[in-house]
Structure 1
Amino acid sequence: MAVKTQTYDNESISSLKGADRVRKRPAVIFGSDGLEGCQHSFFEILSNSIDEAREGYGDKIIVTRYLDNSLEVEDFGRGMPVDYNQREQRHNWELIFCEMYAGGKYNTNDGESYEFSLGLNGLGLCATQYASEYMDAEIFRDGFQYNLSFRKGENVGGLKKEATNRKKTGSRIKWRPDTDVFTDINIPEEYFAEVIKRQAVVNEGLLFILRIETPRGYETREFIYQNGITDYVKELTGSDALTGVQFWQSERRGRDREDKPEYKVKLSVALCFSNKVHIAEYYHNSSHLEYGGSPEKAVRYAFVSQLDSYLKQTGKYLKNESKITFADVEDCLVLVSSSFSTVTSYENQTKKAITNKFIYEAMSDFLKHQIEVYFIENPDEAAKICEQVLINKRSRENAEKTRLNLKKKLAGTLDIANRVEKFVDCRTKDTSRREIYIVEGDSALGACKLARDSEFQAIIPVRGKILNCLKAEYDKIFKNEIITDIIKVLGCGVEVHAKANKELSSFDIEGLRWNKVIICTDADVDGYQIRTLILTMLYRLTPTLIEQGYVYIAESPLFEINAKDKTYFAYTEQEKAKILEQLGDKKFTIQRSKGLGENEPEMMWLTTMNPETRRLIKVTPDLADKTLATFELLLGDNLSGRKDHIAQNGYLYLDSADLS
């Protein structure tokens, strides 16, 4: 087999500079180079204006979308400082618009500029400027009007400054997202309405004006909630809720770890119970937490703990009845949580979940106390709530089979990108082209994400070693989050043949969303074990995918051989020997290949993801049978067979065994 090579030497390494840091890798900052990323870039600008208003500067924000998809955000805050900065020996506009990780939220010399900030990383304005075809800024402060212009990440004309009689301060930013950066910039009106409404909900008394330019003029909508989340919960439930709306608020101080700094948390929750509506929304520093994180975990724990305790104390459970779950509470709960903190740990730049340990602890304690007091002071409402929760629980248990069948029918239409954590989808909807890479861990996810062709290659990481599906009971298998996430992403359901679990079988090959399912792990012992565990899972739960040739293994090179002007990759010892023979007397260096997460994107693309140069092994039923037979021998119940195998073959592996 010919070895394909590509020059990979010291001159192959380069770094992105200036605007290219965003323009060439927008998904790193915005989460996507498509419409979702473009929408996030808009939200970064809106966030800055919201932070100003929350600090008490300005009570109105105007958002305009023009016919050509250019956008404008105007606020009436203090106006961003853009003049000369003596301490930094640079103009502030250079720092704010052209410097990553710069801004007022880092300045702690004279106290914090923003106590509770939606934008913390100093990336948003600069990154959006870099990703724009043009950006124009008009700023009013200190009796002056300042104007700045940028084109494709470069400043045009410097800072223009002139005196003004205008009394109101503030900033107006107008820009057009660049189609050279984003594949789609046509943000729909519904997105603006949804995002702005959410911000009005969690920023009480702040007026948002949305202006949409049409061929006939401007369509204008206003959003304001004078009582914030309380008004919103009333709007959601209408006049026939099961209980009245409760509003609970508290402030706490604490730390995520003993050696970490103390910070302040402000907690606000509005809720009621309803047998017609159920919804839970979580916000932190006014950012909508699509994946929840710490606040959602706290709500789950607190409500189940307190309601279960109350049901036991009041004797509402039937004899030997199982405990309620959060699903039973959730079915009749309308809850909006809005928290703020001076220190925030977001899961990533897109701010869809937070992970603060102290926020979870503070909110759990706060909610448990409030629920306990609420039930004591309102026994009639407590009885109604518990009765409804028990109805939900018993209905769920009695109708489990029906619910499963309903889920099967709906599985193909749900948005898996929003349901599966860290899943990275591709753009094409053509299943004859789509490929899903099942990779080993978050570091490999990052490397593959940068290396892939996002048009047709998607990625889902396996977080650690998955459950051994060889002998595990189905109930245990389907409680494993990694396995259920993979099954959701595949889209075809599972094949379950056990008599007691036939109702779980939901396999439909027409629902498969992929042309290739590619297992991609490191070329080491751990990687091989994870590969075998994934293969075992597919073999047991979706054997038809193997039988019909949808499952592949991506070979990773074992060795990287660098000669003077070329880099060679050897996938076996035999290939290594052959390459060394070809090199003859030439000087070369040889090393074991790095793990997937350590590879440069260009190398990952060349060796693992490029259809023209990668090596894929199609998993056949025969190959799967042999793999599973070996796996069962080594990890199954046949002790005597395993002992005999080790006695006969163990000497082959003594050199690599860890006997220390």
Structure 2
Amino acid sequence: MADTTQYTEDNIRSLDWKEHIRMRPGMYIGKLGDGSAADDGIYILLKEVLDNCIDEFVMGAGKTIEINIKDNAVSVRDYGRGIPLGKVVDVVSKMNTGGKYDSRAFKKSVGLNGVGTKAVNALSTAFRVESHRDKQMKTAEFEQGNLVQEEGPVETSRRRGTKVTFTPDPSIFKNYKYRSEYVVRMLKNYVYLNPGLTIVFNGEKFLSENGLKDLLEDNNPVEDMLYPIIHLRGDDIEVAITHSRTQYSEEYHSFVNGQHTTQGGTHQAAFREAVVKTVREFYNKNYDAADVRKSIISAIAIKVMEPVFESQTKTKLGSTEMGGGLPTVRTFINDFVKTKLDNFLHKNPDTAEALQRKIVQAERERKELSGIRKLARERAKKASLHNKKLRDCRVHLGDMKKDRRLESTLFITEGDSASGSITKSRDVNTQAVFSLRGKPLNSYGMSKKIVYENEEFNLLQAALNIEESMEDLRYNNIVIATDADVDGMHIRLLLITFFLQFFPELIKENHLYILQTPLFRVRNKKKTIYCYSEEEKKAAIEELTGKPEITRFKGLGEISPDEFKFFIGEDIRLEPVMLDKAMTIDQLLQFYMGKNTPERQKFIINNLKVELDLAE
């Protein structure tokens, strides 16, 4: 038996750069995931490569970026300056190597630490980089970070620039697939922030002339906007603001140096504060901050010298300084908003009047709600002492220092058997369960009052901690886990209606999912395979040969806790709930959840699917 008390130099193991990235990928790219969430690792890999192309554009080199994704192989081509030929291998495989350490070449870039492309290289089964400059080309090919081939420099007639091709490693990113909706959203953000840039993705062109104004218009129907978008630009800052007629919550899109800071940070906090301060001073009334910001839809982008982010994936700004001799982030944003927004409101009395009406209406609604809210809070406090609905987990989204906070998940289930199975098989650190009692209320067309009056909705709101704002959201993933039968589908629809009606940004910001559960279990004495479709079942029968045992699952309650852990562990399959830009939220809810119309009946008949039970 080994002597465990010995602790010598032999116990100290030094990992080389690629081993360290492969062993601790979360340190470099956040969570892994399978591509069902917008912040999953495979999108971060694409973003890390893209950031380098964007920095080239910002430096005035190359106005077009071409991206192709086919069968999980990704290629990104820019027409920038090209990596210096002698450094092609070093830049993608040596830590602390990169042009961004030299601030003369990259003044306000995102990827300051030079880790990005190395992480992509280490986490890919195949990685190829080619650089074209001075009519010469150099290429290097890697596998899992190991250099396998190096060629050049050789003469070439191709345009200058860099091309990176990679395939994420399926042993690290399990069952992954790129979803074009998430890729398109990321690319649109890049073009909004970089007018003049064209990105071509699988043959489709994306470009923007009006920056953040286009962002708000692409994400929200113009007819839902209370007044035309206020679009203000300055050196190192751009903002766009409007208010929604129907949305209850606040909506912010914030960016630093072209980086989408999905979790906000010092710049977003300063912007929220500056809007309230300016509005109060303009109307000379001490309006409540919540009334000013209620229903706001806005975007802010700033450029900072050497930004400090709170994580490697750069989703939250920690910097308080603008750098380059400028005032603090807070003062800079405050001064800009105060001057520009105040001027705008003076010059546009119609907008100023519409905004004031909205604030007064929000104030009236808040006062009407305050009594109900107080009662609901007292009820929730009592209920939370013996609340059987929420079985909480230990790590939450607000726990900034815990690696696993992005995995924090709330399963919303219906019925004791399903809740019991998930509760017994969940990871108590990161997975919580909220149990519904029967079908929730159809909240379509109801006011916010119902959220407080209906005990179930009030407790769900309290569990998520989103009453005041999305910033306090406790779980990164909210997963509706219901049976795949008619009742289960109806519950899904009622829950989605609730979120669309009162908290649409949960869906807009990709926090809401449907849990996919297997339809079949195919097994023999040696192996068990869970199948999510007829095709998977056929493949499993072929693989196991002979006459394997086939079971069809009709509901979550039929799946034992021992088995359930396989479906909510690392192989969990989630289907994101996404909004279609073609329909406004109001039109969507009216069609599906309003009065039964001939149009809806026709739609149901035309789309009806009859499923045969093929389990025999």
**Unaligned ranges ≥5, structure 2:** 35-39, 321-327, 384-388, 412-421, 433-461, 479-616
Q: Which of 121, 132, 136 is the matching residue for 1:129?
A: 121
Q: Counterpart of 1:183 in structure 2: which amino acid?
A: K
Distance 1:131 1:273 in 2: 43
Distance 2:20 2:398 in 1: 30
Alignment length, in residue pairs?
Answer: 405
Question: Does the Cα contact within 8 Å between 1:79 and 1:141 map onto a contact in 2?
Answer: yes
1:250 aligns with 234
2:149 aligns with 157
2:225 aligns with 241
Classify the secondary structure of the residue corresponding to 2:195. Answer: coil
1:588 aligns with none
1:43 aligns with 47
Q: Counterpart of 1:288 in structure 2: which amino acid?
A: H
Q: Which of 347, 353, 358 is the matching residue for 2:316?
A: 353
Kindly tell me: are residues 225 and 371 of structure 1, through their superposed partners in 2, closer, same or farther at Cα, counting changes over 3 Å? Answer: same
- Map 1:65-464 onto structure 2 (within 5 A): 65-67=69-71, 69-83=72-86, 92-108=87-103, 112-166=104-158, 168-211=159-202, 220-235=203-218, 236-239=220-223, 241-251=225-235, 266-276=236-246, 279-313=251-285, 323-325=287-289, 327-357=290-320, 358-400=328-370, 421-422=400-401, 424-425=404-405, 426=407, 430-436=422-428
**Offset at 1:98?**
0.9
Q: For residues 520-541 of structure 1, what are the alpha-carbon distances to aligned partners after superposition, in whole Å with 9 as ceiling and x for unaligned?
A: xxxxxxxxxxxxxxxxxxxxxx
Kindly tell me: are residues 26 and 8 of structure 1, through their superposed partners in 2, closer, same or farther at Cα, counting changes over 3 Å? Answer: farther
Question: Does the Cα contact within 8 Å between 1:328 and 1:393 map onto a contact in 2?
Answer: yes
**Offset at 1:385?**
0.7
Kindly tell me: are residues 403 and 144 of structure 1, through their superposed partners in 2, closer, same or farther at Cα, counting changes over 3 Å? Answer: farther
1:648 aligns with none
Once the two structures are overlaid, the 10-residue window that deviates more, 184-193 or 6-15, is 6-15
Classify the secondary structure of the residue corresponding to 1:113. Answer: coil
Distance 2:391 2:314 in 1: 26
Distance 2:33 2:18 in 1: 18
Q: Counterpart of 1:210 in structure 2: which amino acid?
A: F
**Offset at 1:142?**
0.7
1:22 aligns with 21
Classify the secondary structure of the residue corresponding to 2:149. Answer: coil
Q: Counterpart of 2:81 in structure 1: which amino acid?
A: R
**Offset at 1:240?**
6.0
Distance 2:477 2:147 in 1: 46
What is the CA RMSD across the aligned residues, in angstroms? 3.8
**Offset at 1:7?**
5.2
Q: Counterpart of 2:146 in structure 1: which amino acid?
A: E
**Offset at 1:6?**
5.0
Question: Does the Cα contact within 8 Å between 1:205 and 1:228 map onto a contact in 2?
Answer: no
**Offset at 1:387?**
1.7
Kindly tell me: are residues 398 and 427 of structure 1, through their superposed partners in 2, closer, same or farther at Cα, counting changes over 3 Å? Answer: closer
Q: For residues 260-288 of structure 1, what are the alpha-carbon distances to aligned partners after superposition, in whole Å with 9 as ceiling and x for unaligned?
A: xxxxxx11112233424563210111111
Kindly tell me: are residues 486 and 195 of structure 1, through their superposed partners in 2, closer, same or farther at Cα, counting changes over 3 Å? Answer: closer
Q: For residues 489-541 of structure 1, what are the alpha-carbon distances to aligned partners after superposition, in whole Å with 9 as ceiling and x for unaligned?
A: 999xxxxxxxxxxxxxxxxxxxxxxxxxxxxxxxxxxxxxxxxxxxxxxxxxx
Q: Counterpart of 2:82 in structure 1: which amino acid?
A: G
1:516 aligns with none
Kindly tell me: are residues 228 and 485 of structure 1, through their superposed partners in 2, closer, same or farther at Cα, counting changes over 3 Å? Answer: closer
Kindly tell me: are residues 480 and 169 of structure 1, through their superposed partners in 2, closer, same or farther at Cα, counting changes over 3 Å? Answer: same
Distance 2:164 2:391 in 1: 38
Classify the secondary structure of the residue corresponding to 1:119. Answer: coil
Kindly tell me: are residues 185 and 490 of structure 1, through their superposed partners in 2, closer, same or farther at Cα, counting changes over 3 Å? Answer: closer
Distance 2:335 2:392 in 1: 34
Question: Does the Cα contact within 8 Å between 1:273 and 1:332 map onto a contact in 2?
Answer: yes
Question: Does the Cα contact within 8 Å between 2:57 and 2:63 map onto a contact in 1?
Answer: yes
Distance 1:384 1:292 in 2: 28
Kindly tell me: are residues 396 and 26 of structure 1, through their superposed partners in 2, closer, same or farther at Cα, counting changes over 3 Å? Answer: same
Classify the secondary structure of the residue corresponding to 1:399. Answer: helix
Distance 2:293 2:185 in 1: 23
Kindly tell me: are residues 488 and 48 of structure 1, through their superposed partners in 2, closer, same or farther at Cα, counting changes over 3 Å? Answer: closer
Question: Does the Cα contact within 8 Å between 1:324 and 1:390 map onto a contact in 2?
Answer: no
Classify the secondary structure of the residue corresponding to 2:330. Answer: helix
Kindly tell me: are residues 489 and 152 of structure 1, through their superposed partners in 2, closer, same or farther at Cα, counting changes over 3 Å? Answer: closer
Question: Does the Cα contact within 8 Å between 2:398 and 2:474 map onto a contact in 1?
Answer: no
Larger radius of gyration: 1
Distance 2:141 2:372 in 1: 60
1:34 aligns with 33
1:9 aligns with 7
Task: With the length of structure 2 as denominator, give the TM-score of the two structures.
Answer: 0.59
